[in-house]
Structure 1
Amino acid sequence: MQVFKEKTPLQEAIKAAKSKAETIGLVPTMGALHQGHLSLVKQALEVCDRVIISIFVNPTQFDNPKDLEKYPRTLPEDIKLLEEASSNLWVFAPTANELYGDNISSEQFNFDGLEQVMEGKHRKGHFDGVGTIVKRLFEIITPHKAFFGEKDFQQLQIVRKLIEKTGLPVEIIGCPILREDNGLARSSRNERLNTNEREKASFIYQTLLKVKELFGTKSAEYIHNWVKEQFTNHPVLKLEYFEIADTRTLEKINRKRKGNTYRAFIAAYVDDIRLIDNIALNNEE
């Protein structure tokens, strides 16, 4: 397995692979890899000849400097994990200077309102940072396909909109959420939870399962109030937001419309550790 720190040698290797008609897949990550990431890699390996995993903690998508500072950085462990997964992988682990030069700042994007709600509403500038780094990686790596987890469903829709807006020739593939045994969505931030917190945090998924059940018979307003009530006296979790939204537009639901698909989204804190999750509420294509 090759590890590239600079873009030029990587681009030369990609050019050689494409000359052999190899299909290039990209799995963008911020490292601290876990089984959720490996599930994306596995899916990519099934449909691509060559899979590249980018490992880069992108500073422009963090609105909270403390969160950026505390984000786990485990490159040696990440490389070992990937080596055990497959020998047919390349890793791109650049520095911020390699990707941004001397100007570490975001481009400004218009994602037709997708960036204004939920994560975008609570994390100022977050999706400008996401759009900047994803666009840059696509331009450097020129993959045929790119794989993103549905845990960050809003991000997935933002990336799809980025492709629509820029016309970059990349197929975006969403991959199912991988969960721990207790239902907690796998996340690099889970590593900061102690054993008790990790178990208590499974309440997020338990709540989403109940929301899915209620969605068949109760109004969105009823469900919203019910969720807030469930979190009010929780011993560990503090709710930041709960929304039921249209999967295509991410607009908050007013009333269910036949033919539309919806998801429920939660963001909550355990102390200063922020966790997000979501669940499909009806059938999606």
Structure 2
Amino acid sequence: MDIVTTAAELRARVAAWRRDGARVGFVPTMGNLHNGHFSLITLCRSAMGGRADRVVASIFVNPTQFGPNEDYARYPRTPAQDQAGLAAHGCDLLFAPAVEEMYPFGIGQSVRVEVPIVSVPLEGEHRPGHFVGVASVVTKLFNLVQPDVAVFGRKDYQQLLVVERLLRDLRLPIEIVGAPIVREANGLAMSSRNQYLSPAERERAGLIHVALLAMQDGVNAGTPFADVERIAVAMLEKARFVTDYAVVRSAQTLLEPEPGQRCGLIALIAAKLGGTRLIDNLPIDENAAVRRLFETNHVSFANPLTNL
């Protein structure tokens, strides 16, 4: 795997591949990589992921998507470990720019990209300015790499919607693939921020996925959305989470669903455990395969909708 740090080097490498007729895939990350990230590299090369002949990954902790009281300064940075993992999983080129390379006029003077509608609720309410930072840096990265296909994890579901809308509005010819969430044995969605959790907190954090499964069951049983959400919040708060939201929304717009709507829904949770903020989501699906998969990870599941 080659490593470049400047836009000029990146463009030269990608241009050489294109002269050879290669299809280019892209996986943007902020580093501190885990198996969830590495699965994106694998998917990028697969038929489902668009069969990229060459894969570029970026590692850039983007300051503009962190709020003033968030963890930009202490966000974990593990470059040697990340480089070894990417190389082992078939990445061809790592782009690891400095802040000055991505923001040549300084952060305060940089161009900003705003994506309306889907960036407004949920994370948009709890992290003002976050999605402007995301959309701006993703636009910069897409312009530099100009990939044929890009892979994003579905754990950051709202971010995926923002990127998809960005591409459609700007008419960028890039195929976006949403990769399945990779989970730990207790159902906790893999995240770089999981390492902030103590061992006891990490085990307890699996309750977020249990709550999502309960929300799915509640909707499929015809329970009113408000009751499904109220019970999920009660579950989490009983386990000493501080809940930002636990909601059922339209999967395409993140707007509140119509009463009686049962198709095209998704459950989303954001909650703090100790000092760590965790997010997760689950499509509302009557297929019991999701539950069976969860139970094979040796986590007992009791429907909390009937227990509270």
TM-score by length of structure 2 reads 0.88
1:137 to 138, 141, 144: 141
Matching residue of 2:43: 43
Compared CA separation, residues 2 and 49, structure 1 to 2 (3 A): same
Matching residue of 1:68: 72
Deviation of residue 157 (structure 1)? 0.4
Matching residue of 2:57: 53
Deviation of residue 254 (structure 1)? 3.9
Deviation of residue 6 (structure 1)? 0.9
1:91-240 mapped onto 2 (5 Å cutoff): 91-105=94-108, 107-217=111-221, 218-235=223-240, 237-240=241-244
Matching residue of 2:264: 261
1:1-20 mapped onto 2 (5 Å cutoff): 1-20=1-20
Does the 8 Å CA contact 2:114/2:131 hold for their aligned counterparts?
A: no
Residue deviations 1:180-208 (CA, integer Å, cap 9, x gap): 01100000001111211100100100111
Structure 1: how far apart are the matches of 2:111 and 2:66?
Answer: 14
Higher mean Cα deviation, 60-69 or 176-185? 60-69
Deviation of residue 107 (structure 1)? 4.1
Task: Report sequence identity in percent.
Answer: 36
1:21-36 mapped onto 2 (5 Å cutoff): 21-36=21-36
Does the 8 Å CA contact 2:149/2:177 hold for their aligned counterparts?
A: yes
Residue deviations 1:86-133 (CA, integer Å, cap 9, x gap): 2x5210000010011132146444433111100011000000000000
SS at match of 1:208: helix
Matching residue of 2:293: none
**Alignment-mate amino acid for residue 219 of structure 2:** F
**Alignment-mate amino acid for residue 277 of structure 1:** D
Structure 1: how far apart are the matches of 2:160 and 2:61?
Answer: 18
Compared CA separation, residues 56 and 230, structure 1 to 2 (3 A): same
Does the 8 Å CA contact 1:107/1:132 hold for their aligned counterparts?
A: yes
Deviation of residue 65 (structure 1)? 4.1
Structure 2: how far apart are the matches of 1:213 and 1:107?
Answer: 44
Does the 8 Å CA contact 2:207/2:236 hold for their aligned counterparts?
A: no
Structure 2: how far apart are the matches of 1:240 and 1:247?
Answer: 19
Q: How many residues align?
A: 281
SS at match of 1:52: strand
**Alignment-mate amino acid for residue 136 of structure 1:** K
Does the 8 Å CA contact 1:2/1:89 hold for their aligned counterparts?
A: yes
1:263-278 mapped onto 2 (5 Å cutoff): 263-278=266-281
Structure 2: how far apart are the matches of 1:6 and 1:107?
Answer: 19
Q: CA RMSD in A?
A: 1.6
Residue deviations 1:47-66 (CA, integer Å, cap 9, x gap): 10000110000000011444
Deviation of residue 10 (structure 1)? 1.2
Does the 8 Å CA contact 1:261/1:283 hold for their aligned counterparts?
A: no
Higher mean Cα deviation, 226-235 or 124-133? 226-235
Structure 2: how far apart are the matches of 1:255 and 1:72?
Answer: 43
Query: Any gaps of 5 or more consecutive residues in structure 1?
Result: none
Does the 8 Å CA contact 1:107/1:128 hold for their aligned counterparts?
A: no
SS at match of 2:151: strand
Structure 2: how far apart are the matches of 1:108 and 1:16?
Answer: 30
Does the 8 Å CA contact 1:32/1:78 hold for their aligned counterparts?
A: yes
Query: Any gaps of 5 or more consecutive residues in structure 2?
Result: 288-308
**Alignment-mate amino acid for residue 156 of structure 1:** L
Does the 8 Å CA contact 2:153/2:181 hold for their aligned counterparts?
A: yes
SS at match of 2:73: helix
